[in-house]
Amino acid sequence: MADLPSLRKKIDSLDTTLINLLNERARVSLDIGNAKRQQDTAMDKKDVQVYMPSREKEIYDKRLNHGPLNDDSLQSIFREIMSASIALQTDVTVAYLGPPGTFSHQAAHECFGDSVLYVPQNQISDIIDAVEKGNTTYGLVPFENSTFGSVVETLDRAIHTSTRIRAETYLAVHQCLLSNSPLEKITKVYSHPQGLGQVQQWLSTHLPDAKRVSVKSTAQAAEMAAVEVGAAAVCSAICSELYGLDIVARDIEHGTSNTTRFLVLGKSSDKPTGNDHTMVRFTVDHRQPGALCDGLKVFKDYGLNLFKIDSRPSGIRPWHYVFFVECSGHADNDNVIQAIQDLNQFSVDVQVLGSFPNVRADL
């Protein structure tokens, strides 16, 4: 068995090799960035896409890990390597629902790593505005939760947007009750509507008389609870340190697999990977019997599975709705192109909101 000094010397040698290899990879990444810009010399620097979810999926899928590092640890390492690489190619900014400490902030960090600039926004519509106006490179918005369903603020803003979905990411959400007051003294609970929905059973059991107040984000809830006697916030444990609150209760969400799905928005979608989803928005003439049925049937006709259907008021007139459909395939695939063409025969205002790699394990 080797002695300790020899083992440490070997570690030092390996560290030197790792640094050299990382810098060699970084130089290649810079060359890739230059090649992207040379493909279209008229392209504005801000429009060059450096976040390539299809490429990341390819790297993760073909990576051979023989241990002893587990896959999650290795993926975290690769996440930071790729984060540093895209930051070398151009300045990358990511809008998210702030302030710091929200679950959106955590999801953005897990998706983009440490090497990009995060720009907190006050509400979901501000995130989409930032991407549309070119104020940030990308935006990350909450889309649905496994316990409380779709995020209506995101859907409502998606009725009118020029952004395109570029990727999806998932975050296991564990809600905590934070306060500087003991449980029996809490009379008011702040959180985002999604947060309150995910813990409504716990609140009904332990704080049935406390007033529930919806705010723009879980971190804002923590900010408000920190300066109000008898107030509490439903938010992440991280907010305890950020805003000086005690953790009164942990893991108060309903169910053991509470997960929120987020969408990454940009100016365009990425290329097909062979396992993609596409989001389509449209409306129909509600006075025509079977109009929605006819529109949805085209997806079956072209062998496209449907994973999610939502509807929201269009705002045009009462009882008129916009439909959001998520199907298998990529907008560049022939069967998706044909399905969208046929959908236009039965629907109006058909718009592809983007295609993105499917990263959900069970679909």
pLDDT at 329: 97
pLDDT band at 26 (very low <50, low <70, confident <90, very high): confident
pLDDT at 362: 63
CA distances from 354 to 280, 306, 329, 351 (A): 8, 15, 11, 9
* pLDDT above 90 (res 83): no
Cis bond upstream, residue 99 (ω within 30): yes
**Are β-strands 149-150 and 138-145 bridged in parallel, bridged antiparallel, or unpaired?**
antiparallel
* pLDDT above 50 (res 40): yes
CA distance 120 to 98: 4
pLDDT digits (tens, 9 = 90+) for 169-227: 999 999 999 999 999 999 999 999 999 999 999 999 999 999 999 999 999 999 999 99
CA distance 263 to 170: 9
- Domains of the chain (ranges plus CATH)? 15-37+49-172 (3.40.190.10), 176-252 (3.40.190.10), 270-357 (3.30.70.260)
Write down the mean pLDDT value for the chain: 90
pLDDT digits (tens, 9 = 90+) for 243-292: 999 999 999 998 878 999 999 999 999 999 999 999 999 999 878 889 89
CA distance 356 to 41: 26
Find tokens 């560290």 and name the residue: 15
Taking Cα atoms as reference points, which of 262, 273, 266, 265 lies closest to residue 333? Answer: 273
Q: How far apart are the two ends of the chain, measured CA to CA in Å?
A: 47
pTM: 0.85
